[in-house]
Every structure is written in C-alpha cells, then in structure tokens.
Amino acid sequence: MIPRYTLPEIAHIWSDENKFSIWLEIELLAAEALAELGWFPKDVPQKMRELAKFDVQRINEIEQTTKHDVIAFLTNVEESIGEYAKYLHFGMTSSDVLDTCLAVQCQQAGNLILEKLKTLKDVLKRRAIEFRYTPCIGRSHGVHAEPTTFGLKFALWFDECNRNINRLEYAINEVSYGKVSGAVGTFEHIPPFVEEYVCSKLNLKPSPISTQVVQRDRHAFFISILGIIASMLEKIATEIRHLQRTEVLEAEEYFAKGQKGSSAMPHKRNPITSENICGQSRLIRSFIFPAIENNVLWHERDISHSSVERIILPDATISLYYILTKSIELVDKLVVYPDNMKKNLDLTKGLIYSQKVLLELMKKGMKRQEAYKIVQSASMEVWEQQKDFKTVLIEKEEIKNFLTKEEIEQLFTYEEIFKNVDYIFKRLRID
C-alpha cells in the first residue's frame, strides 16, 4: 500500500522487521520444544536465543543468490549462532515458518481493525442518541418516501457495525491457525508436540490437518469479512455524499480551517473523505476473488498463492484500517443541518403523507384499490401542477364522503414517527 494510505501502527505489522522477528521466534520456539522432548541438550534453546539475530539488508543480499527468502533468513541467522546452527529449522519446512507467521500477522492486523470497529460503534451510538428525535425525509429509489429520524440512520449503521464486530472476531479466530508439521504435513521428521508448543506460545491453534500449507479457505474467509466491513463503510460514506449535495445539504463533512476544496473554485467544500472511503472499499472487495482462488493449489501445495498474498493481505488490512480511521472521524465530526431537513420534508408539498391518507380512507370504509386510485390521482396533480397535496385532497368530491377537512388536516404531521423510535433503540440496546 502506498504511504499516503498507510498508518504506522499497521504498517509495522507487515514490515520485514516484524516478519523476520516472528520467523525467528518460531524457529526458537521449535528448538525449545525439541529440547523439551530431549532431542537437543536442554541449554541449546537459551544459547540460541542469546546469540540469534538477523539483519534485513543482509537477508535481502543473500536472497539475491538463493532466490529463496526462508533460506536467506536461515543463512543470516546461522551467521550469528555459529555451532548452534545445526539445531535451527530441524525437521521443518519453509511453510511451517511462513504460514505460522502469516497467522500471527493476520491476527495482529485483525485485532487492530477490531479495535477501530469498536470505536466506530461507540461513535455511531453517540450520534444515534443525539439525533434520535430529529425528523428527516426517508428516501427510496432516491425519491422522497416518508419521514424518519436522522438518529435511525446512525442506529442502522450501529447495528451493522455490531454484526461486523462479531464477524471479524470469528474471522480472526478462523485465520489464527499455525502449522509445524513438516514437508507435506505428516509430522514425519518433527513430532506434533512441537506444533502444539509453538502455536500455544504464539496464541495460535494448531491446524487440525495441513498439507505443506495451512488451507487457504481460512484466509479467503478473513479477506471476505474485510470486504464486507468495507462495504458498510462505503454505505455510510455514500449516504453522506448524497446528503452533502447542494440540493439536499442535510449533512456535511467537517471542513477544517485552511482546507481547500478546489484549485479552481474557491467556494467548493467537497466530500473528499467519503469519496476516498468509497474508492478504497472497492479495492478491498476486489481482493476477495483472488483470495478464494488461492484455495485451489496443486496436490499438497504449490506457491501460486504466495505472490498474491504478499499483496492482498497487507493491502487489504492497511487500507481497511485507514478508511476505518477516516470513517470514525467522518461520523464523529459530521455537521448536521436539521433546518434543511425540515425544509426538505416540506419539499413535495405534503406528498409524504399519502399513505396516511390511503389508510385513513380504508379505515372509513373505502375499498383499498379505490382509495389507492383516488390518492394517487391527487398525488399526480401535485407532481405535475405543483399544487398543495392537502388542498387537492380537501377539494376531492370522492373523499368528502369519507373524511372531513379537519380529519385531513390532522393527517399532515410527522409526529407519529416518534412513537416507536424508543422501541427500536431499546431493541438495539442503544441507551
């Protein structure tokens, strides 16, 4: 991921320094386990731990010759441990190190993302409560439908965020499996205790069965959940982009002092954060397809998945972490315009109360299809002639036999939308 969208705390997870540190820890833990079993002298692991070190530049230099990153790493470590080199990587294959390390990195990145999700949930909850009773127009197909409250928008996202927290916790668990089972996963040259010991120390679980690799359905699931989370962030950002349109202007991204919106037009205040979130969420979701394809490998393994993962796992987690951070700021500082919401509620001259009129006519005995036809006919007059809906209804002869002028006027209020808002909030446990 380019530096522009990379935050340091998650960049570190995918750095060579962190990767090689985990590799070294895996190797040392494996030596400890073998010493526990009596395969090595008891003092060997501690001696190795005291002496072992690596140098990223030196590893890269060696790899220019070996064309193999794990061998280059081992060669460099052997330079520091001298006679103890014979105990390094004993009975292991490269994927024992690579896949176990990848599980640790995915777990580390996943937990960082999880903390951001929990923060977003708290911000959404706070703003849902803040605007619980703020009326605004609800839209379907982009067209005014009926009134709702602005707080219910945040409540909806809060609920989805909660589900994504649960999904991500499950996905982190799914990907937190290591393997130290040897060349094709049979433990022929290294006992299962080593795998159990290494995984336990790294807060992983041993893969119940592996070939030369941990199976990639785990990683595909992890990436898929990241994509679903990204789609939630895009949903929020898309709504804000619409609400910030000049013709709507019910909410707006915070515009900082000194910020510039356009190199040409000094008046512009553009939803750049929301647009950035939408763009990167597309990128994250695009990684799902290659992640799923990585599950299909030849026989006990090939490395067609390797080059893909070196790109998609760092980029997906780094990008999602970035747009989560931006989403928290976006929601937290969102500027809201209740007066414009009220203005937009009145924009269609009362048409948003058409269902209330329909249902009231039915309560008074009019057949549904007849009532629908009459109310729709009145609505079309409003659309086409810019009349006032209430006035059109009062003048309709077909309606006078069922509803008085006073009864019609009483229907033109959005106060009833509040009566079950508390019920919805209670059901969501937002209080």
Instruction: Write the pLDDT tens digit of every residue in 346-386.
Output: 999 999 999 999 999 999 999 999 999 999 999 999 999 99
Three-state DSSP at 194 gives: helix
When mean pLDDT is compared across 132-146, 209-223, 252-266, 410-424, the lowest value belongs to: 252-266
The CATH number of 1-90, from 3.90.340.10, 3.40.50.2300, 3.40.50.700, 1.10.275.10, is 1.10.275.10
Say if strands 205-206 and 177-178 run parallel, antiparallel, or are unpaired. Answer: parallel
| 93-185+205-255+266-348: CATH superfamily | Fumarase/aspartase (Central domain) (1.20.200.10)
Give the pLDDT of residue 135: 97
Domain with CATH 1.10.40.30 in the chain: 351-411
Q: Give the active site residue among 12, 68, 189, 262.
A: 262
Domain with CATH 1.10.275.10 in the chain: 1-90
**262 counts as catalytic:** yes
Taking the C-alpha atoms of residue 396 and residue 375, their distance in angstroms, rounded to an integer, is: 10
Taking the C-alpha atoms of residue 186 and residue 181, their distance in angstroms, rounded to an integer, is: 6
Q: Give the active site residue among 141, 267, 299, 307.
A: 141
Please report, for residues 35, 83, 213, 219, the alpha-carbon distance to residue 196 in angstroms, rounded to integers and kept in the order given. 14, 27, 16, 21
Instruction: Write the pLDDT tens digit of every residue in 74-117.
Output: 999 999 999 999 999 999 999 999 999 999 999 999 999 999 99
Of 185, 188, 398, the closest CA to residue 299 belongs to 185
Taking the C-alpha atoms of residue 319 and residue 277, their distance in angstroms, rounded to an integer, is: 9
Give the pLDDT of residue 212: 93
Domain with CATH 1.20.200.10 in the chain: 93-185+205-255+266-348
| Angle, in degrees to the nearest 10, between helices 217-243 and 304-332 | 30
Distance from the Cα of residue 225 to its chain's centroid: 7
Amino acid type, 203? N
The CATH number of 351-411, from 1.20.120.1200, 3.30.420.40, 3.30.56.10, 1.10.40.30, is 1.10.40.30
Please report, for residues 337, 357, 361, 382, 398, the alpha-carbon distance to residue 374 in angstroms, rounded to integers and kept in the order given. 35, 10, 10, 13, 8
Taking the C-alpha atoms of residue 270 and residue 264, their distance in angstroms, rounded to an integer, is: 13
- Mean pLDDT, rounded, of the chain: 96
Instruction: Write the pLDDT tens digit of every residue in 309-338.
Output: 999 999 999 999 999 999 999 999 999 999
Taking the C-alpha atoms of residue 222 and residue 102, their distance in angstroms, rounded to an integer, is: 12
Taking the C-alpha atoms of residue 375 and residue 379, their distance in angstroms, rounded to an integer, is: 6
Taking the C-alpha atoms of residue 313 and residue 105, their distance in angstroms, rounded to an integer, is: 9
**141 counts as catalytic:** yes
Instruction: Write the pLDDT tens digit of every residue in 17-66.
Output: 999 999 999 999 999 999 999 999 999 999 999 999 999 999 999 999 99
Please report, for residues 17, 105, 315, 318, the alpha-carbon distance to residue 13 in angstroms, rounded to integers and kept in the order given. 9, 6, 12, 9
> Does residue 431 have a pLDDT over 90?
no
Task: Please give the structure tokens belonging to residue 152.
Answer: 């219910």
Read off the DSSP letter of residue 418.
Answer: G
DSSP string, 309-357: HHHHHHHHHHHHHHHHHHHHHHHHT-EE-HHHHHHHHTTTTTGGGHHHH
3, 303 Cβ separation under 8 angstroms:
no
**pLDDT band at residue 262, thresholds of 50, 70 and 90?**
confident
